[in-house]
A and B are shown apart, each in its own frame.
Chain A
């Protein structure tokens, strides 16, 4: 039947081309997208019409489904915001949805003695602060799961007290998630009186899971870098999750 239709179409096209030149009614019929009446039987026309109707309804259903799915996706993406907030409240992750470290972990963790990591220290100051700030050791060798202590020294050589506030950075970035500071001197204002020099300790450990992470397999050096800025009066810095 399909072949019949094809050959019929060919005939029609030929007829159409001829008819266009002569302006016969057959061409109009073709242009109206209806096969000429002499080729149709009555049952054939009803069948093709119902089939076309069937297709039309099927198309419409499919189109409706697709539109509904699209609208549903858009709605979901809008609903995701309050839903995620609810999820965070329920599970207590509070936005920091990473495998956070447990403060009680320090008690129970076992040092991984085979994996020695060199932690090197870096100290920077912002251009406007006049402190002399430097680490007291260039590097220290630690193993994951063991707490370690390190010292920085800061001196205020000027004649007026200067308040500094610091932030830190850990390189490589991926290792930063395993670098846990128990106590340090960052994110809080530290005041140095004129000509005063203090030791600033950092008490930290590297999470023992560092050894299990395949991405950290080739990381042997972690660099901890502190930068001091001058804190101006009444300045409110956005401190990360600090109460």
Chain B
């Protein structure tokens, strides 16, 4: 936090996260997915774009184990990783 009380300088405004706080994974239930993600990152020079599948897997694990509120993955930005829906009835209203 900025502590210098300079008139006119912008200070940092902390914002609450959109979907709240992750409950702690006390029992390490999703640790395996996390390890896969970290391994992918270290192999790919910490490029997030190449490890999105692993991050999706980790979040799915969390949702399964009740460590995260269930959300459709498009809402978490994984639309491009989803398989296209087989039937004409689509979930989202994407043009």
**A positions within 8 Å CB-CB of B:** 103-104, 106-109, 111, 113, 136-137, 139-143, 146-149, 151, 167-171, 173-174, 176-177, 180-188, 190-193, 196, 198-201, 203, 205, 239-242
Contacts and interface: CB of A to CB of B under 8 A. Distances in A.
Nearest to A241: B16
Most chain A CB within 10 A, of B14, B31, B74, B79, is at B14
A192 B58 CA distance: 22
A242 B16 contact: yes
A239 to B, nearest CB: 7
Per CB-CB distance, the 9 closest pairs between chain A and chain B, nearest first, are A147-B77, A149-B55, A181-B17, A188-B21, A148-B48, A242-B16, A183-B19, A142-B48, A184-B17
6 contacts: A106-B77, A137-B41, A147-B55, A167-B1, A196-B26, A241-B16
Interface of B: 1-2, 10-22, 24-26, 28, 31, 34, 37-38, 41, 45-49, 52, 55, 58-59, 68, 74-79, 92, 94
Given A181-B17, A205-B77, A143 B58 contact: no
Most chain B CB within 10 A, of A184, A191, A196, is at A184
Most chain A CB within 10 A, of B20, B21, B41, B79, is at B21
A185 B24 contact: yes
Given A149-B59, A185-B21, A173 B78 contact: no
Nearest to A101: B18
B47 A141 contact: yes
Contacts of B48: 140-143, 146, 148-149
Contacts of A188: 20-21
A109 B22 contact: no
Contact of A146 (B14, B17, B38, B77): B77
A174 B10 contact: yes
Given A107-B75, A169-B1, A199 B16 contact: no
Given A148-B48, A183-B17, A140 B22 contact: no
A4 to B, nearest CB: 57
A183 B20 contact: yes
Given A146-B77, A182-B17, A186-B17, A200 B22 contact: yes
B24 A182 contact: no
B24 A140 contact: no
B26 A198 contact: yes
A199 B41 contact: no
Contact of A136 (B10, B38, B55): B38
Contacts of A182: 17-19, 76-77
Contacts of B37: 149, 151
Contacts of B38: 136-137, 151
B16 A240 contact: yes
